[in-house]
Structure 1
Amino acid sequence: MQLYPLFADLSDRPVLVVGGGDVAARKTAMLLRAGAKVTVGAPLLVPELREWVRQGRIAHQAGGYQPGWLDGVWLVIAATRSRALNARIAAEGHARQRLVNVVDDPALSSFQVPALIDRSPLLVAISSGGTAPVLARRLRERIESLLDPALGSLLQLAQRYRTRIRARYADLAARRRFYDWLHDGPVHAALRASRPIHAQRHLQAALTDDRQLHAQGSVVLVGAGPGDPGLLTLRALRALNEADVILHDALISDAILDLARRDAERIAVGKRGGGLHTPQPSIHALLLEHARSGRRVVRLKGGDPFVFGRGGEELDFLRAHGIAYEVVPGITAALACAAYSGVPLTHRDHAQSVRLVTAHCQRSLTTLDWADLARERQTLAIYMGVSQLDELAHQLMAHGRAAETPFALIENGTLPQQRTLTGTLGRLAALSAQHAISAPALLILGEVAAHADASHWYGQLLATSTLQHPTAVPHDLADAA
């Protein structure tokens, strides 16, 4: 081990930064967050540093570097553009037994500034000894995605009650069980939901009644997005890594499930037309069973739980049975499929509104207001409508929508096998049949859909010009031709 890891308390301690540029400003900002009394020495300062001087947050030593600047400071950061000057600052600082960091020059430095993950009072520092700062940054990004932002608030709350916790749980094993409950139970969940008063009440109740510590299950409704694992939110990823059991839809890919906690139980509860079907009451029963057994349950849904995902029904059920829950939204198919096909859902010249419509069966079509849907200057994003394309086109044209209205039909949106079919409303059903478009697919209808022909960038583009050629070519090859 070449470096000795430590966390320095710089609160109200003098620190010197030599240099007045953007790098010096970034280093100064970090020191100010740590409560240091910062002096910046440089002939000129960037606007951010000048403003801090004006506000009295930092002191300024104007002019060129002087050895006397090192007197009385605890550590020094050299951030000038001159390696010779930085080397001189380092040598004179070391001679005075000061800790010195020379930016981007580990050979001249006696300490390194790590890549930092801040969940104050929790800090996670990553160092490569100055040899691989890019790797340290990438590791920080990976770890950052796994650490809940509410951890800081949780630690601050525990810190305030530390004396009472130690008095209530004098036995070390019992205290450890309490802290496990604090992290896994309703206190942390309340803080994630920005309900600090509820979190404090849960903590106070547990300090007076041990029954509060009994395993309490919960459910998180998680939107997995349209299929590309890269579109998962950070909160969704954390939920998957904390889950004891995952109830997932049929469209959830193995690539997404592979991101979950390895020992989590996985239960498929999908609904696919013409295939396996898990009734909604059975899903409710499974949620209740596992939550009441004290497990952390993730209900993993494609897209977003509240956009044609029955998330509202499941939330009603959980609330009626007293089960704690959270909701993690996901990127719904309309947004993702449009983006991956280069289609703007709104446009100043073409569409000032977007309508999300489901058309998964004949019964759902009879409840739609076709006259309203057929209006111009709006975009329709129609979910689950592949089997109803003929009737959809018929109803829209019968109620006034022009047969020349552009459409983009996106199959397997955001997945490697994505195909985007473009054309006009009057030929929608015929084109779809010719290219054997199948579910899952999303239909975008409106003038904005015409953008797909020029702006499409992902997967295959099945343009009208390919009608005589059943096998379409990838978009980039078609462009090259």
Structure 2
Amino acid sequence: MKHFPIFLAVEGRRIVVSGGGDAALAKLRLLLKTEGRIAVFAASPAPEIVDWAKTGRLSLTTRPLQRGDAICAALFYGANEDATEDARTAAIARATGALVNIVDNLGDSDFITPAIVDRDPVVVAIGTEGAAPVLARAIKADLEGRLSPVLGTLARIGKTFRHKADALPMGAKRRDFWSAFYFKTGPQVVETAGSAGIIPALDALLDHHLAKGDQIGRVDLVGAGPGDPELLTMKARKALDTADVVIYDRLVAPEILELARREATLLDAGKEGFGPSASQTDINAMIVEHAANGAYVVRLKAGDPTVFGRLDEEIEAIEAAGIAWRIIPGITAASAAVAGIGQSLTKRQRNASVRFLTGHDMKGFAEHDWRTLAREGEVAAIYMGKRSARFIQGRLMMHGAGPATPVTVIENASRPDQRVVSTTLSTLSADLDEANLSGPALMLYGLAPRAAMLAASEFQTQDIAL
């Protein structure tokens, strides 16, 4: 991020514009929406600028900007449509301490003016750092259609009511009140009774929420998917956007955590196979404690929480505490991994079923029906199988699996640093040692990458691909 977005207070402060042509007009139409004191310097101002000056909307000096003209200016716009004159006037403004914007000259500007969706006092600013103005305009057009025209009215009235709403405790209860006002009660009242009915409606809504008393929180057990933020479900995204507390696993991608509400408390559950980890009992207690204190808790698990996610243990603890819960499934790693190699988990006349195994559960591995899995055409998705690769290899070959059976291991499936190791059962363990994978990996037994996907993989380990 090369430009840090802020909202600058300009009420009563000077904003100076040098120029009187089309570029100046475009900036002034936006600046006149502010409460700043606008001063224009132009030898030949457009008629619109002259008219604005006559009605007192801005001050106009019909000559070029000179030294001293930009004193006390908060912002300066160079809109002369002449590079030499813009550079001259910008130097004058900078000498006074003003922030400078030169129209159509990103490199010499101190700030940029974003595309704006105006629902005063609700303002949405959209910037692309000069890279894609067309994209910014498209986003603006989309938001203009989405945001209610009465949103600004509701925000102005809501601002005067905030001191009364402080009677509600901070957190979920207060957010629920404002959410109900802005997205349900407020628009309905404006539509039926006009703005005059909003304050009585706010009083009634507040009384209703105060009467609810203290409430216990709730828990959503959410699948974060394999790592690509674009594979997150819409329901999961909404949960992250409103959660008070997010308790996440080690394998949840940082890009996913960035989507959580800024005010949310993020807690690392830190479970890690074959290494130091938080106990499941401690994680259960953490979830219950925060929900019992009234928080909306999102328990965020990589992939799909219903697949090797110890979901039942957490649900049992939540139910024992009398707390409401729901499951929001995610895309499991097997689906992302098989998509990454251009294959499907099942195929007519090859396999009508697929097995999901976890290499972390060695006792379960030992009791598995290896003879059936070793048959030709069988497919299995093996989670957390890197460390148990030699055991898997031995068991399958012992029960008759062909040495040339394809095995593909996908590290960091769906992420930018995804790696694909294509091998066979006979060389599986040695090839994984040579590949030295460090990230989470899923093993697809019985599947090889399609040739086109293998060639396209930037991270393919060419020297061990068979």
- TM norm structure 2: 0.57
Unmatched tracts of structure 1, length 5 or more = 3-130, 145-150, 160-169, 182-209, 468-481
Change (3 A) 1:348 1:450: same
Taking the aligned partners of 2:209 and 2:141, their CA distance within structure 1 comes to 30
Residue 354 of structure 1 and its aligned partner are, at CA, apart by 1.3
Query: Residue type matched to 2:310 in 1?
Result: R
| Structure 1 residue 301, shift from structure 2 partner | 0.4
Give the equivalent residue in structure 2 for 1:462: 461
| Counterpart residue type for residue 135 of structure 1 | I
Match of 2:205 among 158, 161, 176: 176
Secondary structure of 2:238's aligned partner: helix
Q: What residue is the counterpart of 1:35 in the other structure?
A: none
Which residue is 1:246 aligned to?
246
Secondary structure of the residue that 1:246 maps to in structure 2?
Answer: strand
Residue 365 (str. 1) matches residue 365 (str. 2): yes
Amino acid in structure 1 at the alignment position of 2:204: R
- Taking structure 1 as reference, are residues 258 and 465 closer, same or farther at Cα in structure 2, changes over 3 Å only? closer
1:275, distance to aligned residue in structure 2 (A): 3.7
Distance 1:180 1:459, change over 3 A: farther
CA distance in 2 between counterparts of 1:347 and 1:325 reads 36
How much does 1:141 deviate?
Answer: 10
Kindly provide the amino acid, as one letter, of the partner of residue 399 in structure 2: H
Which letter does structure 2 place at the counterpart of 1:455?
A: M
Check conservation: 2:273, 2:360, Cα contact below 8 A.
Answer: no
Letter in structure 1 aligned against 2:389 = L
Distance (Å, rounded) in 2 between the aligned partners of 1:357 and 1:260: 31
Matches within 5 A, 1:229-308: 229-308=229-308
Matched, 1:135 2:164: no
| Alignment map for 1:72-471 (pairs within 5 Å) | 134-136=138-140, 139=143, 175-177=204-206, 210=211, 212-446=212-446, 449-456=447-454, 457-463=456-462
Quick one: structure 1 residues 387 and 455, their matched pair in 2 at CA, closer, same or farther if it must change by over 3 Å? same
Question: Structure 1 residues 417, 217: closer, same or farther in 2, change over 3 A?
Answer: same
Tell me how many residue pairs correspond in the alignment. Answer: 308
Q: Report deviation, 1:309.
A: 0.6
Compute the displacement of 1:406 (Å). 0.7
Q: Tell me the SS of whatever aligns to 2:204.
A: helix
Per-residue CA deviation, residues 345-390 of structure 1 (Å, 9 max, x unaligned), is: 1222432221111111432322322123223333100001100101
The alpha carbon displacement at 1:143 in A equals 8.5
Report the 3-state secondary structure (helix = DSSP H, G, I; strand = E; otherwise coil) of the residue aligned with 2:449. Answer: helix
CA distance in 1, matches of 2:145, 2:363: 47
Offset of 1:132 from its aligned partner? 8.3
The answer to whether the Cα contact below 8 Å between 2:241 and 2:261 also exists between their aligned partners in 1 is: yes
The answer to whether the Cα contact below 8 Å between 1:420 and 1:459 also exists between their aligned partners in 2 is no
Change (3 A) 1:298 1:465: closer
Provide the rounded CA distance (Å) in 2 between the counterparts of 1:249 and 1:341: 26
Match of 1:187 in 2: none
Deviation at 1:286, TM superposition (A): 0.8
Do the aligned residues in 2 keep the contact of 1:416 with 1:459 (CA within 8 Å)? no
The CA distance in 1 between the partners of 2:337 and 2:146, in whole Å, is 26
- Identify the residue that residue 151 of structure 2 maps to in structure 1: none
Partners in 2 of 1:320 and 1:262 — Cα distance?
30
Offset, 1:138: 5.1
Shift, 1:312, TM fit: 2.1
Residue 140 of structure 1 and its aligned partner are, at CA, apart by 7.9
Secondary structure, aligned partner of 1:215: coil
| 2:247/2:267 contact within 8 Å kept | yes
Tell me by how many angstroms 1:268 deviates.
0.3
Alpha-carbon distance in 1 for matches of 2:390, 2:350: 25
> Residue by residue, what CA displacement relative to the aligned partner does 1:111-154 show, whole Å, maximum 9, x if unpaired?
xxxxxxxxxxxxxxxxxxxx98743565489989xxxxxx9xx9
3-state SS, counterpart of residue 219 of structure 1: strand
